Copies of this chain bind each other. A is one copy, B any other.
Amino acid sequence: MIAEILCIGTEILIGDIVNTNATYISKRLSEHGFDVLYHSVCGDNKIRLEETIKHALTRCDLLVTTGGLGPTYDDISMELCAKALGLNMYTDERVVKQLEGYFSKTGRVMTGNNLKQALVPEGAAVLMNDFGTAPGIAVEKDGKVLVMLPGPPREMKPMLDNQVLPFLSKYTDHVLFSSNVNIFGRGESSVEEKLYDLMTTSKNPTLAPYVNDGEVRVRVTGSGKTENEAKEIVAKTVELVKSTLGKVVYDVDSKSVEHSLVKLLIEKKKTISTCESCTGGLVSAALTEVPGSSEVFGFGICTYANEAKMKLVGVKEETLETFGSVSEQTAIEMAEGIRRLSGSDIALSLTGIAGPGGGSEEKPVGLVYLGVSVGQKKYAKKMLLGQHATRDREYIRKLAVKNALKTAIEEVMEL
C-alpha cells in the first residue's frame, strides 16, 4: 500500500522546528509493510492545502496527516480532507464529553472554538487524544485511507502506536522485523566495504548502514508472513554480520554504547568510576542516563582544572609540570586516583584538547588521552579525534566519550 505523509504547519516551513513527525511515522509505517513514497509539508493556507491534499490523494492509497487540528480559525485541515474525500462532517458527542472533562479537570473555560474540534467526518473512527484536546480520525472512502493526527509529537506518537497501527493492520499482509547491529571503531564506508556483497545481493533481509554520533549501526530488516518468520530471517543475517565485522561489533539492538556497558557491568557484577577533564562529566552523565546504573557506578569526578586534578584525585604536581595535563602520565594518574578513591573494578579517565582554542602543533585540537585502570593493568590510549575540519568541540567530546565506553566494554568482557 503506497503511503504519503503530509505535515501541516508553517513552523516547519520557516525552519523553526524539525519535522520529526514524518520520520517517526515513516519508520512505523515501513515496519508494518507500507511503502512510504512521499513526504510533503504545507502551511495552513486554504487554497494551497486543498491542492496539496488533492494531489496527494491522486498518488497514494494511504494519506497520514499531522497538524492543523487546533481550535482556531486557521485550523482547516479536517474540513478540507473531508471535502476532498466527499464526506460530510458531524459533531461527535464522545469528543464533546472528552473536551468538557479536559477543561473541567484543568479548571479552564471551554470556548465555542474548542467545540470545533469535535467536528469529524462521517464514518470515521475517532482517535482519542490522551495528551491534548484535538482528536484524530481514521477513515476509508473509495479505496483511499485517510488518517489525521495532531501535530505535537507527544500527542501524535501514542495515538499512532496504540490506535492507528491496529486500525491499519487489515491493509497489510506481511510483517517487517528489524534488528540493529551496533558498531563502534570502524567508519561507515569501511563497514560498507566489508559487507558489500551481502548488502548488494540480499533482498530479504535488506541491510542498511546508518551513522549517528560516531556510532555505526547496520539495520537488518526482514519480511515474513508472521513476526517469527521475519525474526528468523533477520537473526541469521545478524550472525553473519557479526562474524564478518569481528570485534568492532559491541552489541545488537542496544540503544547506545553506554547502555551496553551498564548492562554488561550489571551482568558481571562489576563497578566503574570516572575522572574527566576535557569531557567535563559527559561519561558520568552517559552512564547515569541508563536506568539501573546506580548498581555499578557511584563515583565520578570532573577535574577540569589542574588544581582539581591534584586535590581531588592526587595527580602529582610533578607529573603535570613535566608532561602537562594532556598526557599519558596524567591520564593514568587520574584513572588510578579515582579507582583508589572509589574502590571500583575499572576506572576511566579522559584528558585532552576539545578546542576550539588551546591546540598547538605538538598537542593539536582533538588530542585526547584515555586512561584505564583495571585489574593489575593501567594504561593510556592516545586518540586523535580532530582530523576533520567539521569536527567541532561537541563532536570531539562525544567521540572521546564513545571511545572510552567502548574500551571499557572490551576490558569488562575480560573480567
Contacts and interface: CB of A to CB of B under 8 A. Distances in A.
A240 interface: no
Interface in A13-42: 13-20, 22-30, 36-42
Contacts of A311: 299, 341
A283 B154 CA distance: 26
A304 B288 contact: yes
Interface residues of A, number: 79
A71 to B, nearest CB: 13
A110 interface: no
Contacts of A303: 298-300
A166 interface: no
Query: Of residues A41, A45, A293, which shows the largest number of chain B Cβ atoms within 10 Å of its Cβ?
Result: A41
Contact of A288 (B154, B287, B302): B302
A249 B43 CA distance: 30
B48 A37 contact: yes
A170 interface: no
A26 B22 contact: no
Given A40-B39, A390-B131, A280 B298 contact: no
A315 to B, nearest CB: 13
Contacts of A29: 15
Contact of A294 (B24, B289, B305): B305
List 7 A-B pairs, minimum CB-CB distance, nearest first. A298-B305, A280-B288, A15-B27, A281-B281, A300-B302, A15-B26, A281-B284
A291 B393 contact: yes
A279 interface: yes
A359 to B, nearest CB: 12
Interface of A: 7, 11-20, 22-30, 36-43, 45, 48, 51-52, 55, 59, 131, 154, 208, 210, 219, 274, 276, 278-285, 287-289, 291-294, 297-305, 307-308, 311-312, 341-342, 355-357, 389-390, 393-394, 397
A356 B55 contact: no
A284 B298 contact: no
Given A18-B18, A22-B41, A281 B297 contact: no
Contacts of A287: 280
Nearest to A309: B298
Nearest to A397: B289
A55 B58 CA distance: 13
A300 B281 contact: yes
Given A39-B39, A288-B304, 20 more contacts: A12-B22, A13-B36, A13-B39, A14-B26, A15-B23, A15-B25, A16-B27, A16-B219, A19-B22, A37-B48, A38-B52, A131-B390, A278-B288, A280-B288, A281-B283, A281-B288, A282-B285, A294-B305, A299-B307, A300-B304
